[in-house]
Structure 1
Amino acid sequence: MPHYHTLGKIPHKRHTQFRKPDGSLYAEQLFSTEGFSNDYSLLYHNHPPTQIIRTDKPVNVQPEIAEEKMLQHRSLEGFKIPPEKDFLHSRKPVLVNNDCHIILAAPQLNMGSYFYKNADADELIFIHEGSGVLQTMYGEINFGYGDYLVIPRGTIYQIHFSETNNRLLIVESFSPIRYPKKYLSPYGQLLEHSPYCERDIRVPKNLQTHDETGDFLIKTKKKGMLYGIHYLHHPFDVVGWDGCCYPYAFSIHDFEPITGRVHQPPPVHQTFEAHNFVVCSFVPRLFDYHPDSIPAPYNHSNIDSDEVLYYVDGDFMSRKHVTRGMINLHPGGIPHGPHPGAVQKSIGAKQTNELAVMIDTFHPLQLTTTALEIENEGYVMSWAE
């Protein structure tokens, strides 16, 4: 849950008359991803956000599953996803289950002709390459290399990129993406032992109120279908809002690593959580400082989770032949660990410059046809080298 924030003009009391200079009423909207039983925000529009003027025929955008069941380590070359001009067309799901979809994207152009709303899932967009501005009905968020953009489901947005070379890792979560409970006080404040705090969270700014009438296309995704819904008024006609449900940014470079005398387990890297999966950040850090420590991770058994590691930048002493944008999947049921020679090589090392995002899912992931197109064949045998 982001902390309480307000931007623009709002009335003194919620659900009361809030009038424009001409005496007419602003239209109040309660925005929440869990009905009336959890975090919410109240937005005040120049026009009711309900005025649909026409709809387009829906398009099927469900991921095409290639392997529903499998039990072997897999490796994907993420940067082999070809760039595409359109943001939505560029999104290619590679690993999916009923809790989340893991997507790669290489968009080249801005979302100038339409807006987008994911009505099914919260979105976590990691910016591997590129920069720009996320524009929403809540205001704007500037983003760049290493940023996580957390966008609650139902948020209408446009992304404007500063350049054409953009690489994104996107996680669609069919449950709310939250701060880990272990980092939070009973009242929602990030605690002292948390690897980041509220000062690191970047909230929307520069609220731009568009009081425009016309034909505004909001491409809306619901249950694997993309619907073109045309509205009479610009969706960013909000004059003010307040609450605890809104998009925000957090930089992986602001994650403060937790280290120890001996090797620390992956939960110390946890950054976000959702229902049946977690997201972790591996960042540059000092290695363990026990005189007999082994910096390389120990072999471990994945029994009740699939582990996905997305390599961003830096050196990875536990793995061979790592490339930027590579995704390794270690499914539940097979132990895995450092590649041959990595343990001995790591002894005496003082620090690592690795940067990676890890996603652990508690239910098995399925591979899509796109995943097979960018797969590194023979990865499961790489521990025998």
Structure 2
Amino acid sequence: MSELTYLSGFGSELSSEDQRCPGALPKDQNSPQKCPYGLYAEQLSGSAFTAPRAENRRSWLYRIRPSAGHKPFRRFLSEAEVTHDWTEQEPDPNQMRWNPFDLPPTDHKVDFIQGLKTVCGAGDPKTKHGLAVHIYACNHSMLNRAFYNADGDFLIVPQVGTLAIKTEFGKLEVSPNEICVLQQGMRFSVEVRSASRGYILEVFGRHFTLPDLGPIGANGLANPRDFLAPTAWYEFTDNISYQIISKYQGQLFICDQNHSPFDVVAWHGNYVPYKYELSKFMVINSVSFDHCDPSIFTVLTCQSEKPGTAIADFVIFPPRWSVQEHTFRPPYYHRNCMSEFMGLILGEYEAKKGGFLPGGATLHSIMTPHGPDKNCFEYGTNEELKPTRVAEGTQAFMFESGLGLAVTKWGAKTCEKLDPEYFRCWKGLESHFTGPK
């Protein structure tokens, strides 16, 4: 595993060169007439050339061969069920809960790309607006195979198993309770040591950023210094069969080339893959009365053109001290103009103990009511309001979006994990109304 570099801030300039080739980074020019070591200069642009400087994202890669050296793409037919056709199923406003998604059987080899399944989403990658939620479940490494997403960014949330991710920029190892972001166009390959499962939030056309802190001030939530980028690492291969898989306009394509795509000897720029450990999140929440909204737990956001409204927020509910007065401590009953997709990495979610399992998910659609089950309500109503440690040994998260999420055929039927009894967790909520005295 190569070393990691601290991201001092999103959009900050970074650089790295493989230690085996000192001086591989050109000194004064991005694209000199002749690069050191006979390398090729190639720019990877994550924004329009003319994007405002504060939003402009690009990196220069100094590689052994240009990435253009491959045979034509063709459709990739595999076990992956990736789609952006949001009309496969009739709209369904009901509360939804999925039991844990299956891991592949031990006698069947499935790599990361073959194990991709789309659960829900909205929008269109062709118009660069929208998102998709996927599940991955795999038990085999990607051998001589790389993938890139032409449609958007992947935010990967491992739930079971560690992912050893090889990228053009270097290597990342990502374990449960960590996340990584592989931005649009970046080529990567995933190795696994055992059966692995997790969640993916994909956003089209825009990138994840840290949320503004507003009245919180300069410090808190996810700090830029805790995000890590890989250092340069390369492999030099000749006359080896390598497959490149592309996700383009919601479909998968494949091409062949005779060398490794991971031949970047040096790079510099501000458009890089990165990882973050969720335990480093700085929780802020002490309530004298009322209740803070879950947006106080936002790690990363992808904002729409409407201020304060996200295409997608990545929100976590980590172990924390809960200090409250005169307040119903659990999550409040709620109807929302946003869509809320929740997953559970480990432990028991505080508002649905025993009913929401690691590796499963829930979806509460726009204006569909939801909230604590009966047991959680009864306990939260009668508990002593002293400082309490909540969510210990637990890590739940939410993908929240201002867009209406449509469930795919795989999510609604094929996976056979949708729980038709979910609605019953609210049936025991009886009236406690006492009337006027």
Taking structure 2 as the reference length, what is the TM-score of the superposition? 0.80
Distance 1:15 1:179 in 2: 26
Correspondence 1:171-210 to 2 at 5 A: 171-183=201-213, 192-205=218-231, 207-210=233-236
Code of the residue aligned with 2:190 in structure 1: it is I
Rate the CA distance shift 1:177–1:54 in 2: closer, same or farther, 3 A: closer
Code of the residue aligned with 2:60 in structure 1: it is L
Contact persistence 1:79–1:324 (CA under 8 A)? no
Name the structure 1 match of 2:188.
157
Does 2:68 match 1:53?
no
Distance 2:200 2:11 in 1: 20
Rate the CA distance shift 1:235–1:314 in 2: closer, same or farther, 3 A: same
Distance 2:352 2:66 in 1: 54
Report deviation, 1:93.
1.0
Structure 2 residue matching 1:382: 3-state secondary structure: helix
Name the structure 2 match of 1:15.
30
Name the structure 1 match of 2:133.
102
Does 2:395 match 1:367?
no
Report deviation, 1:164.
1.8
Does 2:338 match 1:300?
no
Contact persistence 1:11–1:18 (CA under 8 A)? no
Structure 1 residue matching 2:221: 3-state secondary structure: coil
Contact persistence 1:41–1:246 (CA under 8 A)? yes
Correspondence 1:230-269 to 2 at 5 A: 230-261=256-287, 262=289, 263-269=291-297
Distance 2:421 2:103 in 1: 20
Distance 1:338 1:380 in 2: 12
Report deviation, 1:115.
0.8
Question: Which moves more between the two structures, 266-275 or 171-180?
Answer: 171-180
Structure 2 residue matching 1:52: 3-state secondary structure: coil
Percentage of identical aligned residues: 21
Code of the residue aligned with 1:325 in structure 2: it is G
Rate the CA distance shift 1:66–1:225 in 2: closer, same or farther, 3 A: closer
Contact persistence 2:221–2:281 (CA under 8 A)? yes
**Which of 320, 323, 346 is equivalent to 1:313?**
346
Contact persistence 1:288–1:294 (CA under 8 A)? no
Question: Which moves more between the two structures, 77-86 or 150-159?
Answer: 77-86
Name the structure 2 match of 1:70.
92
Structure 2 residue matching 1:281: 3-state secondary structure: strand
Report deviation, 1:54.
4.3
Distance 2:198 2:142 in 1: 15
Distance 2:298 2:351 in 1: 19
Does 2:315 match 1:280?
yes
Structure 2 residue matching 1:299: 3-state secondary structure: coil
Give the root-mean-square deviation of aligned CA atoms: 2.4
Structure 2 residue matching 1:51: 3-state secondary structure: coil
Name the structure 1 match of 2:389.
351
Report deviation, 1:62.
2.4
Structure 1 residue matching 2:218: 3-state secondary structure: coil
Structure 2 residue matching 1:335: 3-state secondary structure: coil
Code of the residue aligned with 2:341 in structure 1: it is V
Rate the CA distance shift 1:211–1:357 in 2: closer, same or farther, 3 A: same
Contact persistence 1:100–1:173 (CA under 8 A)? yes
Name the structure 2 match of 1:383.
426
Contact persistence 1:147–1:252 (CA under 8 A)? yes
Report deviation, 1:252.
1.4
Does 2:12 match 1:3?
yes
Provide structure 2 residue ranges, at least 5 long, that are not aligned to the other structure.
1-9, 18-23, 124-129, 305-310, 429-437
Structure 1 segments (4+ residues) deviating >3 Å: 18-22, 53-61, 63-66, 80-84, 211-215
Does 2:145 match 1:117?
no
Report deviation, 1:82.
4.3
Code of the residue aligned with 2:323 in structure 1: it is D
Code of the residue aligned with 2:97 in structure 1: it is S
Q: What do the CA deviations read for 1:6-55 (whole angstroms, capped 9, x no partner)? A: 11031122334263567x4x321111222312211111112222122344
Name the structure 1 match of 2:168.
137
Rate the CA distance shift 1:111–1:140 in 2: closer, same or farther, 3 A: same
Taking structure 1 as the reference length, what is the TM-score of the superposition? 0.90
Rate the CA distance shift 1:149–1:117 in 2: closer, same or farther, 3 A: same
Rate the CA distance shift 1:154–1:86 in 2: closer, same or farther, 3 A: same
Rate the CA distance shift 1:93–1:180 in 2: closer, same or farther, 3 A: same
Distance 2:154 2:238 in 1: 28
Correspondence 1:221-232 to 2 at 5 A: 221-232=247-258
Report deviation, 1:90.
0.8
Code of the residue aligned with 1:361 in structure 2: it is S
Distance 1:374 1:63 in 2: 20
Code of the residue aligned with 2:204 in structure 1: it is F
Distance 2:132 2:153 in 1: 11
Structure 1 residue matching 2:101: 3-state secondary structure: helix
Distance 1:82 1:66 in 2: 25
Code of the residue aligned with 1:123 in structure 2: it is F
Rate the CA distance shift 1:20–1:39 in 2: closer, same or farther, 3 A: closer
Contact persistence 1:85–1:109 (CA under 8 A)? yes
